[in-house]
Structure 1
Amino acid sequence: MTAPAPPVPLTLTRPPRALAIASFVSSFDRFAVTPMLVLIALDLRVPLAAAVAAASGYFLAYGLSQPLWGVLSDRFGRVRVMRVALLGAALAGAVSAAMPVLGALIGCRIVVGACFGAVIPTSLTYVGDTVEARVRQRALTDLMAAAALGTAVATGLGGVLADVLDWRVVFIVPAACALACAVALRALPEPPRAPIGGLGRHVGAVLRKPWALLVFALAFVEGAVLLGTMAFLATALVHHGVATAVAGLATAAYGLGLWLFSQLVKRLSGRWPAPVLIAVGGAQLCAGYVIVTMNVSLATVAVTALLLGGGWSFIETPRAWKPPSSGRGGNAAQCRRARYCV
């Protein structure tokens, strides 16, 4: 059993800059691969369907690792876990850039995805533990805005770098940034946390609860619906003869929609009930899928990416945040629960 870290006064009013940059880098690395799957397939001389595993394996590891990172951060500390994860992501990311065969590349990308899975969820928890309740909503929105910006820059810049230089460079850039973030996070103090028992006992207690398994199953399906198509939008354009750089810029509308609609949701969350906001997000997803199914072009892909970003904002933001209640513990607990929805 680990003793709690020394208390940190709740004097922060926004996410620490190093934390926001780390969230940016995490999102950048997650989505940078989407415009260059065709280039990877051509360079490694494998079918496109096989190259897609480099993205799908990453996404799967990113999602499945989050409950484990949550338990580890409760036991060993938020900052410590993020720094270890960023160091792991930097090492595996650099190695993946040198992999000559697809199998080794997929293995490295799975490790990178699992490591980056710690960053944004634990950052949300850090904000819940350290930011004053009266401004916590704004701080959470700022943190997610940094992640949204990373998504937008990833598909745009990732496509340009892959087209102009080499697709391997796109893996090296976030790896170097992750190393820099791991160093920068040394200055962050650890927030207080309650001690927990053994890791196996803690995870086993959760998995024995039927409602927890149901939540994990629903989150798995939701992630597939919200993000499953993103990996194929830019790929579809490249397959139709569009340059990788242009295809990446078209899908950058996803990050733009994520950021723009999150600002709208912040204004509407106090007036519209959460089920209505989620229904609006679902309608945007349906509309986006219908548009791109009917025709694949620069315009339809850009509109679909924009709607997918808006759908994510309307569905995820109401669940991850509720208005401040009295005291700090309630909202910190909400941020800890939100780790499994990012």
Structure 2
Amino acid sequence: MTRDQRLILTIAILASFVAFLDSSVINVALPAIRDELGGGLSTQQWVVDAYLITLGSLILLAGSLSDVFGRIVILRIGLIAFGVTSVLIALAPTAELMIVLRGFQGVAGALLVPSSLALIMSTFRGPAQARAIGQWTAWTSAAFIVGPVLGGIFVDVLSWRLVFAINVVPIAATLWMLVVLGQKDERNRETRIDYLGAVLGIVGLGGPVFALIEQGNYGWGSPAILVPLIVGLISLVAFVLWQRRAPQPMLPLALFRERNFSMGNIATIFIYGALALGGFIVVVYLQEVAGYAATFAALAFLPSSIGIILLSSYFGRLSGKYGPRIFMTVGPLLGGIGYVTFLSMQESVNYFTQVLPGVVLFSVGLSMTVAPLTSAILGAISARQAGIGSAVNNAVSRIAGLITVALVGVIVVGPLTVDNFHRVIIVTAALFFAGAVVSFVGIRNPVHAEAESTDVATPRA
């Protein structure tokens, strides 16, 4: 690599690391936030979902903004905004202000990941590009190990507020590297920004999510619930209709004509919805009901992060040889079975007998799923569409998590108890199983993989 290529790769890794770190650390801090700032389960849901609403709505728009204003400009704005909102969240005196700031942090987060990937795509070519993306994936995956552990230690030893201050150091280092790089931006003035689509997307997601979270406080018959629900659903319909006629839509609907792309994204809804729902409820339950310290609750899913790093490339290679269908079917099945074992948890939880076996099953299942799912979705479209295809799948996974976390208030009746926890676990497992069914029925292996599979299954003379 040249000096500039090394700098750009490091910048892209650090910028994405910040966004992934924040999303991996938040569940550990939720009980401590509730204890200090007040509020119940709905407050914890909002702390997660306020970020996901703006992030999921605007991540597609960020690509257009990068084209118009320049990738480095948008990346710099995203980094500064993410750093400022992180500090303000750490200082927030009330839960309401914190939730608002989390929404602004989601806007900043939406600018980071697409811009950093775009820098890699525009700087590297051919095999070097594949290696750079591999390094980017490996290092950003480390955020899912480092985040919860650091967060748990900060909550137990120092303060939950410092969990958000973790972002400041890598952000400052990345901004300094951008100055050292001194590279001029490339801009595409012909790109049109779909502002209307962005507004419709935010309202369309925000309205139903508000209704799902707050229905326990107001009741389904209240105008405070019905109005945002109806307005949100109308906005979602309007969003789809607008995307069909917009000159340069945020969401190119033509991509969904490809079977594996559309079915892969449907599977993503179930699988990533289950990931967000299960991760949210287990970490909160271990702290609030089982009495685990934040650090130990954070370490509960550490094997899954290690499993992804160690096994995902292996299953990715197997998927390339035999096709993604079998792995996208068996993986979510194992994940769902892993969660079913959590039904043995009561108020007193033994980690080694009631948690670890399920986490190991889930870890293998998730490792078996992630790379084949990505290859199935991106392999269904042309290389020229890979950027927008990846952005769409990223947005779908965030929105799936947004919706399932919002559903916690519908599933849990009253305070978090053993029975309520078991209900959420059953829904989580059912989502994994649904992802497996969609994958088995909907995904088609590429022709070369089908041929390879036949060759392996048929003895040669």
TM bucket normalised to smaller: 0.7 to 0.9
Larger CA Rg, structure 1 vs 2? 2
TM-score by length of 1: 0.82
Pairwise CA distance, 1:249 = 1.7
The answer on whether the counterparts of 1:58 and 1:112 sit within 8 Å (CA) in structure 2 is: yes
Aligned ranges 1:120-199 → 2 under 5 Å: 120-186=113-179, 187=181, 189=183, 195-199=189-193
Aligned ranges 1:1-342 → 2 under 5 Å: 16-186=9-179, 187=181, 189=183, 195-200=189-194, 203=197, 204=243, 205=246, 206=249, 218=266, 223-239=272-288, 240-295=290-345, 297-299=350-352, 300=355, 302-303=359-360, 306-307=363-364, 309-310=366-367, 313-319=370-376, 322=379, 331=383, 333-342=385-394
In the alignment, the residues of structure 2 paired with residue 267 and residue 217 of structure 1 have an alpha-carbon distance, to the nearest angstrom, of 21
Q: Helix, strand or coil for the counterpart of 1:159?
A: helix
In the alignment, the residues of structure 1 paired with residue 183 and residue 378 of structure 2 have an alpha-carbon distance, to the nearest angstrom, of 24
Pairwise CA distance, 1:152 = 1.0
In the alignment, the residues of structure 1 paired with residue 317 and residue 256 of structure 2 have an alpha-carbon distance, to the nearest angstrom, of 33
- Give identity over the alignment, percent: 21
Pairwise CA distance, 1:127 = 2.2
Relative contact order (alpha carbons < 8 A, sep ≥ 6): 1 or 2 greater?
1
Cross-structure match for 2:200: none
In the alignment, the residues of structure 1 paired with residue 377 and residue 139 of structure 2 have an alpha-carbon distance, to the nearest angstrom, of 16
The answer on whether the counterparts of 1:26 and 1:119 sit within 8 Å (CA) in structure 2 is: yes
- Rate the CA distance shift 1:176–1:134 in 2: closer, same or farther, 3 A: closer
- Rate the CA distance shift 1:212–1:223 in 2: closer, same or farther, 3 A: farther
Per mean C-alpha deviation after superposition, the further-off stretch among 296-305 and 150-159 is 296-305
The answer on whether the counterparts of 2:319 and 2:372 sit within 8 Å (CA) in structure 1 is: no
The answer on whether the counterparts of 2:336 and 2:362 sit within 8 Å (CA) in structure 1 is: no
In the alignment, the residues of structure 2 paired with residue 158 and residue 336 of structure 1 have an alpha-carbon distance, to the nearest angstrom, of 32
TM-score by length of 2: 0.63
The answer on whether the counterparts of 1:13 and 1:132 sit within 8 Å (CA) in structure 2 is: no
Moved over 6 A (4+): none
Q: Deviations over 1:125-175 (max 9, x none)?
A: 332222221233332222111111011110111111111000000011113
Per mean C-alpha deviation after superposition, the further-off stretch among 332-341 and 206-215 is 206-215
Pairwise CA distance, 1:95 = 0.3
Pairwise CA distance, 1:210 = 5.4
Q: Deviations over 1:293-319 (max 9, x none)?
A: 443653426436635742552454324
In the alignment, the residues of structure 2 paired with residue 311 and residue 99 of structure 1 have an alpha-carbon distance, to the nearest angstrom, of 40
The answer on whether the counterparts of 1:66 and 1:118 sit within 8 Å (CA) in structure 2 is: yes
Letter in 2 for 1:298: Y
In the alignment, the residues of structure 1 paired with residue 60 and residue 35 of structure 2 have an alpha-carbon distance, to the nearest angstrom, of 36
Cross-structure match for 1:5: none
Q: Choose between structure 1 and 2: higher helix proportion.
A: 2
In the alignment, the residues of structure 2 paired with residue 243 and residue 62 of structure 1 have an alpha-carbon distance, to the nearest angstrom, of 30
The answer on whether the counterparts of 1:22 and 1:181 sit within 8 Å (CA) in structure 2 is: yes
Pairwise CA distance, 1:77 = 1.9
In the alignment, the residues of structure 1 paired with residue 331 and residue 190 of structure 2 have an alpha-carbon distance, to the nearest angstrom, of 37
- Rate the CA distance shift 1:222–1:65 in 2: closer, same or farther, 3 A: farther
The answer on whether the counterparts of 2:8 and 2:120 sit within 8 Å (CA) in structure 1 is: yes
The answer on whether the counterparts of 1:128 and 1:333 sit within 8 Å (CA) in structure 2 is: no
